[in-house]
Amino acid sequence: MTLEVDVEATFSADGADAFHVAADFAVREGETLVILGPSGSGKTLLLETVAGFHDHGGTVENGGRVLSDRPPEGRDFAFVFQDYALFPHMTASENVGFGQRYREADADPDALLADLGVADLADRYPPTLSGGEAQRVALARALAVDPSILLLDEPLSSLDVPTRQSLRDDLQDVLADVTSIYVTHDRTTARALADRIVVMNDGQVVQTGTPEDVFERPASPLVARFTGSNVVPLAAFGDRTSQLLDGDRDATHLTVRPEDVELGAHDPDLTGTVERVTREDATSRVTVAVGDVPEPITVFSADPPAPGTTVSLRFPRERVATCRA
Amino acid sequence: MTRETGALPLNALGRGSVALTVVAVQLVAFAAAYSLGRPTLYAGFVLLSAAALGFASRRGLFGVAMATLGSVLLVALGLPLLLFVARQSPSLIAEKATDPGVHRVLYLGVYAPLLTAVVCLAFGVPLAYHLSRGFPGQQLIESLVDLPLVVPHSVAGIVVLYGFGEGGMFPSLSVFGTLPGMILALTFVSAPYAVNAAREAFESVDDRLEYAARVHGASPWQAFRRVTGPLAVRGMVTGGVLAWARAVSEFGAVAVVAYSVEFFYPPAGEQVIAQHAPVFVYNTYLQGGLDESGAIAALLLAVSAAIFLLVRWLTTDATTTQGVA
């Protein structure tokens, strides 16, 4: 069973220009499709449109059944909201059992809460729960209706970092067993959870592919920047350009992951000056300014040079990709 | 925990007992001034005590000036009420309180507004729901709803007579001098309170709670019944009580449409004729003078005060947040 989405919708708020969202993608049985995009790219509106919250043109089809004309309650989905959206006047257990009054599903709400490690919260009301607890209850509420597709809208973004990491681990287990669309602006989460990624910008899909495609072979400088790759105009390489081209004669930019750039190598492709060194968990992020390259190049190093040092950079041929602006 | 309020660090209990002490001192001062036959002395005392309290708050001359000027208005509002109560003859009030004619007036004065509140809620809540969710042309409808707030109420009565009286919408319905006419007039002036209170309550319920209910299987009615309605119920009750209180005090529209009303009076087991309480007070004033009308006014004031306390209690309670956790 495959969910086929080909929708367009226009949103207008008072005093703002109309915002147009159009997207075409498919979600295969059992996979986690991540919609990745910056704030304001329309990814949440797209997900809400798929859920049936907004009027839209085009079609949403699940396993051949056309859902486009059905209201949200007729689409057999479930939704996890960024800010939980738990019913504040119902206990956690009542929240989880909510959908089972209306939809056939035999999961035991208390068992779902137990699976997510929050069994002891069953009788608590949402205003008394922490963010992580509330989102676990919201996840249980969504799973309780045994949805054909689970829709998740930035479920981790309202949480602090330790809570986010532990819930992301749990989500990984949950998503392994269901078909889901997961909206996020966080590339780390996207890479950790996605089977495939749809990158959105300004209401449009700009690339669809596996995490490897999107992170290592970005389709445009825009996708490359958003997924954290270095973007270097090919012109910066002078007579070495032909060595770096991977077949596309019309390519304009080279992209490379920061972890793949070699620092202090012999036979450098570029030479620059260390601008900034930022300590991260196990390594340091080194920002290097290179002559006429507009964006500084980011490199990871366990033994970073001091700011101001002149360093050489080399891009392993098998790790670079090119794209067109 | 003590909280800094100006220079007086007072906890909630302390603030309560300070307020009680101030009220007690004021009552004693009023009683003393009244028994001397010099209420003006008491007005002076209020200004002085306000100045003293302003000084005690250590906001300097500015605080003293603001407190003293503000208390002038308090004197204008409160002193007539105190004198009104003090100058009543208990025997005349007792006499009126046992007069069956007055009983009928008080019965009608509570019963007709109650019916009005029911009508306002039955049709006002659905309107309030739509207003809270927005629709094209909404501002026009909002202006129409609020119009009775700015129309002189005698004009409202005339409008009701044109709309529903002879030659109006319902030729078979007699409104002039009837209970249905009275309720129409009361509804005309009271509905904005019910609609606006209910609308505010609906607006405070996050859209996403309704989305959450729908996507997990609830129909629009089920989502309203189990989520939006329960979360907005305090606002609806408040709206009903406000509409009721407004109807209890209505004079102008009722005096035009239904000066005297025939209605079924259960204690007598038959149809009786009476006037709406505010009309009756005015009538008594014209025919029997200040003392007679004062006694009835005191009874009506007691009823109104009871309603007012109920409203305060309900609205204070409703300030507890019921939004998304």
Q: What is the mean pLDDT of residues A303-312?
A: 93
Contact A75 B215 (CB under 8 A): yes
Report the distance separating Cα B170 and Cα A88, nearest Å: 45
Contact B215 A77 (CB under 8 A): yes
Tell which residue, A174, A146, A168, A145, has the closest CA to residue A155.
A168
Report the distance separating Cα A168 and Cα B42, nearest Å: 70
CATH homologous superfamily of domain A2-221?
A: P-loop containing nucleotide triphosphate hydrolases (3.40.50.300)
Kindly report the backbone phi and psi dihedral angles of residue A296, in degrees, each rounded to the nearest multiple of 5, phi listed first: -65, 155
In a domain, B323, yes or no: no
What tokens does B54 get? 């302003």
- In terms of phi and psi (left: phi > 0; alpha: psi -120 to 50; beta: otherwise), the region of A131 is alpha
Which residues face A184 on adjacent strands?
Answer: A36
In a domain, B59, yes or no: yes
pLDDT digits (tens, 9 = 90+) for B169-217: 888 888 888 999 999 999 999 999 999 999 999 999 999 999 999 999 9
pLDDT digits (tens, 9 = 90+) for A80-126: 999 999 999 999 999 999 999 999 988 899 999 999 999 999 999 99
How close B232 comes to chain A (CA, Å)? 11
Contacts of B201 in chain A (CB under 8 A): none
pLDDT at B278: 93
B63 with B97, same domain?
A: no
More confident residue, B204 or A240: B204
B194 with B79, same domain?
A: no
Contact A52 B215 (CB under 8 A): yes
B167 with B221, same domain?
A: yes
More confident residue, B30 or A1: B30
Q: Return the amino acid letter for B305.
A: A
Touching check for A86 and chain B: CB below 8 Å?
A: yes
Touching check for A88 and chain B: CB below 8 Å?
A: yes
B244 with B265, same domain?
A: yes
Report the distance separating Cα B8 and Cα A103, nearest Å: 59
pLDDT digits (tens, 9 = 90+) for A207-232: 999 999 999 999 999 999 999 999 99
Contact A89 B321 (CB under 8 A): no
pLDDT at A15: 67
CB-nearest to B211 from A72, A86, A103 is: A72
**Of B87, B117, B149, which residue is a domain's last?**
B87
pLDDT higher than 60, residue B324:
no
pLDDT at B6: 43
Q: What is the mean pLDDT of residues A234-253?
A: 83
Residues within 8 A of B (CB atoms), A 117-156 only:
126-127, 129, 134, 141-142, 145, 151
Closest-CA residue of chain A to B136: A14
Residue with tokens 């709206």: B239
3-state secondary structure of A86: coil
Total domain count for chain B?
2
B58 with B129, same domain?
A: no
Evaluated on CA atoms A124, A126, A128, A132, the torsion sign reads positive
The percent of residues in chain A predicted with pLDDT above 70, rounded, is 99
B103 with B82, same domain?
A: no
Q: pLDDT tier at B307 (50, 70, 90 boundaries)?
A: confident
Report the distance separating Cα B110 and Cα B261, nearest Å: 14
How close A12 comes to chain B (CA, Å)? 13
Residue with tokens 């703002």: A16
Report the distance separating Cα A273 and Cα A285, nearest Å: 14
Contact A85 B212 (CB under 8 A): yes
**A320-324, B21-25, B207-211: which is most confident:** B207-211
pLDDT at B7: 44
Report the distance separating Cα A261 and Cα A269, nearest Å: 10
Contact A77 B214 (CB under 8 A): no
3-state secondary structure of A151: strand
In a domain, B324, yes or no: no
ipTM of the shown complex: 0.89
Q: Give the CA distances from residue A230 to residues A220, A224, A263, B176, B306, in Å, rounded to whole numbers and listed in that order.
A: 12, 7, 14, 83, 72
Range of the domain at B138: 93-315
In a domain, B321, yes or no: no
Q: Return the amino acid letter for A168.
A: R
A218 with A207: CB under 8 angstroms? yes
CB-nearest to B324 from A73, A85, A102 is: A85
In a domain, B233, yes or no: yes
Mutate to test the interface with A, among B204, B215, B233 (most CBs of A within 10 A): B215
Q: What is the mean pLDDT of chain B?
A: 88
What tokens does B81 get? 């009420």
Using alpha carbons only, what angle is made at residue A235 by residues A230 and A241, rounded to the nearest 5 degrees?
A: 90
Contact B217 A103 (CB under 8 A): yes
Tell which residue, A312, A303, A306, has the closest CA to residue A268.
A312
B69 with B121, same domain?
A: no
pLDDT at B320: 44
Report the distance separating Cα A202 and Cα B163, nearest Å: 53
pLDDT digits (tens, 9 = 90+) for B206-264: 999 999 999 999 999 999 999 999 999 989 988 998 999 899 999 999 999 999 999 99
Touching check for A98 and chain B: CB below 8 Å?
A: yes
B274 with B127, same domain?
A: yes
Residue with tokens 């309290």: B53
Provide the CATH number for the domain around residue B235.
Answer: 1.10.3720.10
Q: Return the amino acid letter for B77.
A: L
Touching check for A14 and chain B: CB below 8 Å?
A: no
Contacts of A142 in chain B (CB under 8 A): 216
**Of B87, B112, B144, which residue is a domain's last?**
B87
Residue B245: alpha-carbon gap to chain centroid: 4
B135 with B257, same domain?
A: yes
pLDDT at A117: 93
Which residues face A256 on adjacent strands?
Answer: A230
pLDDT higher than 70, residue B67:
yes
**Of B87, B120, B149, which residue is a domain's last?**
B87
Contacts of B212 in chain A (CB under 8 A): 79, 81, 85-87, 141
Which residues face A320 on adjacent strands?
Answer: none
Contact A79 B323 (CB under 8 A): no
Contacts of A134 in chain B (CB under 8 A): 325
More confident residue, B234 or A145: A145
CB-nearest to B222 from A83, A102, A145 is: A102
pTM, entire model: 0.83
Contacts of B216 in chain A (CB under 8 A): 73, 78-79, 98-99, 102-103, 141-142, 145
B183 with B34, same domain?
A: no
Q: pLDDT tier at B11 (50, 70, 90 boundaries)?
A: low
Residue A127: CB atoms within 10 A of its CB come to 15
Chain B: which residues have CB within 8 Å of chain A? 206, 208-209, 211-220, 222, 226-227, 230-231, 321-325
3-state secondary structure of A230: strand
Contact B325 A129 (CB under 8 A): yes
How close A128 comes to chain B (CA, Å)? 8
How close B235 comes to chain A (CA, Å)? 15
* Cβ-proximal residues to A39 (8 Å cutoff; 6+ apart), any chain: A185
pLDDT higher than 70, residue B12:
no
* Cβ-proximal residues to A283 (8 Å cutoff; 6+ apart), any chain: A300, A301, A302
CB-nearest to A81 from B208, B222, B321 is: B208
Contacts of A53 in chain B (CB under 8 A): 211, 214-215
pLDDT higher than 80, residue B61:
yes
Mutate to test the interface with A, among B204, B205, B216 (most CBs of A within 10 A): B216
Contacts of B228 in chain A (CB under 8 A): none
pLDDT at B175: 87
What tokens does B156 get? 């409202």
How close A191 comes to chain B (CA, Å)? 27
CATH of domain A236-323: 2.40.50.140
B164 with B205, same domain?
A: yes
Strand extents, DSSP E, B167-249: none
Q: What is the mean pLDDT of residues A42-47?
A: 94
B295 with B242, same domain?
A: yes
Report the distance separating Cα A206 and Cα A201, nearest Å: 7
Q: pLDDT tier at B301 (50, 70, 90 boundaries)?
A: confident
Q: Where are the domains of chain A?
A: 2-221, 236-323
